[in-house]
Structure formats: C-alpha cells, structure tokens
Structure 1
Amino acid sequence: MQRVTNCILLNEDKVLLLKKPRRGWYAMPGGKMEQGETIKESAVREYREETELELIDPALGGVFTFLIYNGKTIVQEWMMFTFFCRSFTGTLASYCREGELEWVTYDAINALPMAEGDRKIFEHVLASDRTLYGSFSYTEDYDLINYRLDPSSP
C-alpha cells in the first residue's frame, strides 16, 4: 500500500495548488512518504520540495483510503494524509517539476478540474477544523465510483 502526504496551505483567501500536466487537474502539493518518516515530516518535506515554502506547524486535516478498481478488482490501494496550514516562510518556487503552482481563491476552487474526492476534501477543510476520515473508490480513469466521509458534513 502506497502512503502519500499533502497539504492545503491557506493564505488569506487563497490556497496554493499544483496544476498537474497529465490531466490538467489541480491538486494539493505533496507526494510519497519515505521510509521512516512521520506523516508530518513527509508533508513538510514534500511541500518544500515542490514549492520551496517551509510550512509552519501544519495540522492533520484528513486521513483517506483510495481504492482503484478495474471492474470489480482492486488494482491499487493507497493512504493519503492531508494537512492544512496557515503559516509559512520562504519564497514560492518559480518552477516546479510536478506542474504549475498557482494561488487560487477559495471561491474559484469548485470550478477547477480536479479529482472529485479532492473536491470533497477541500469543501471540508475550508469549512471545518475537524479531522476528516474517508474512503474513495475510483475507476482506473479516476472516475469516482463512491465515497464515505466521517464526519459526513462540515
């Protein structure tokens, strides 16, 4: 099972997002955990590697299971630990090998192309400080099949 971490950085009325070139979808900066890292260490490291920003005291916002299906068969499973943060230091990278970095207003997030599960995560984190737990099932083309969230609403 793959483990990944990411972070939603909130700065005034904006969130820093990464537009991935493969699908043109927006996502939270982050990536794969390294052996022996805590989830918080991974989130801070991955964020710094992609953005050159140093997160200050990120908090756990959610823990999620993702299942990818080919028909009725699970072909991939991973865990994602999503943090949120309101403070950082540094200057935003002018280039990111993972895609384009962009500050996006809260209001614009719903109109952006992204995985539907990410959209649900944003809805919760932008409205609540409670940790969200969830499970998302997708096809191999990343069409959302179903999901469960706890708490179910912000």
Structure 2
Amino acid sequence: MARTEHFNDPNAPKPNSIVVAVTVFVQDELGRVLLIQRTDNGLWALPGGGQDFGEYIAETAVRETREEAGVEVEVTGVVGIYTNPNHVVEYSDGEVRQQFSICFRGRYVSGQPTPSDESSEVRWVGRDELDDLTIHPSMRLRIDHGFQGRQQPYIG
C-alpha cells in the first residue's frame, strides 16, 4: 500500500483516523542508531508501527523492531510523544491518519539487522551519516531527540 507524508501542507487531505503507533530509538555499542529504509515510501526511519489489540504498548515496540529490523530490544524509556496535527499520512486505500506516535528508547538485546516486507534495508547509522539519508522531518526530530538523551520526554 502506498503512503504519502503531508507535513505542514495546507492542501493536505483531512485526517479520518488516529492510530496508536510507536517508533524505537536503539543504539549499538558504537552509539549508532538502528534505522530501516521503508518499502512503502523509500524513506529512512526508526523501526515502528501500530499497536495490536491485546498488546501492551511496550510489547508493540519490541514486536515491531523484531519484525521490521530483525533485532531484539528491551524498552528502557520514552524519547517523546509526537502528535503534530499538521503531520498526516495518506494511504492509497483512502485512510488519512493524523500522527500519534510514542518514541521509545530501547536497549539492544540481540539479533542482526535484517530486512523484511516493510524494510528494504536495515542498518546501524552513525549520527554523522544522518544528513546523507532521506529522512522525513518528523522522524529526524525523533532521532535527534534520541541522540540528545533528554531527561524528560518530548511532548508535542
């Protein structure tokens, strides 16, 4: 399913859904962040996705990281909560989703970065490499907040 990001776009379609979603900021022993290249829009992003029924939100973070990136993590904190109403995602099936995403901080447990149906490439990325990748501004904000190691979660 195709996905189009609208960010601060006055001509964006009006949202018709909100889904509880997560992203996960996890670093390796060298301080690099785990990123995936999404198959639905080609952008680089933190692993993540929507919460399933019967699942604690931290379980969503662990499951999505395993499914999209092949890496096992343990949730250790919250980077931030991202709810910008000027960021909507339009899907080819007619859904237009207003952003609602909790970005968790995770600790690497095991596994090797492995692509999936949702990720064409998965790798550990150094902070100095971020500007060379195509990353949506909303996702880059989460990554930057993760690297900052903020004492309090971002709420916005």
Q: Does 1:4 align with 2:4?
A: no
Aligned to 1:91: 112
Matching residue's letter, 1:101: V
- Distance apart, 1:64 and its partner CA: 1.1
Q: Is the 8 A contact 2:75 2:105 kept in 1?
A: no
The 5 A counterparts of 1:5-154 are 5-11=22-28, 12-67=30-85, 68=88, 75-93=96-114, 95-99=115-119, 100-130=121-151, 131-134=153-156
Q: Is the 8 A contact 2:71 2:112 kept in 1?
A: yes
Inter-partner Cα distance in structure 1 for 2:112 and 2:141: 29
1:18 aligns to what SS in structure 2? strand
Q: Is the 8 A contact 1:56 1:89 kept in 2?
A: no
User: How large is the RMSD of aligned CA atoms in angstroms?
Assistant: 2.1
Matching residue's letter, 2:20: R
- Distance apart, 1:69 and its partner CA: 8.7
Inter-partner Cα distance in structure 2 for 1:2 and 1:78: 8
Distance 1:35 1:78, change over 3 A: farther
Identity percentage over the alignment? 27
Distance 1:53 1:76, change over 3 A: closer
More strand by share: 1
Q: Is the 8 A contact 2:39 2:117 kept in 1?
A: no
Distance 1:58 1:96, change over 3 A: farther
Distance 1:97 1:58, change over 3 A: farther
Matching residue's letter, 1:98: E
In structure 1, runs of 5+ residues without a counterpart are 135-154
With the length of structure 1 as denominator, give the TM-score of the two structures: 0.74
With the length of structure 2 as denominator, give the TM-score of the two structures: 0.73
Inter-partner Cα distance in structure 1 for 2:58 and 2:43: 25
Corresponding residue pairs, total: 129
Inter-partner Cα distance in structure 1 for 2:118 and 2:69: 10
Matching residue's letter, 2:21: V
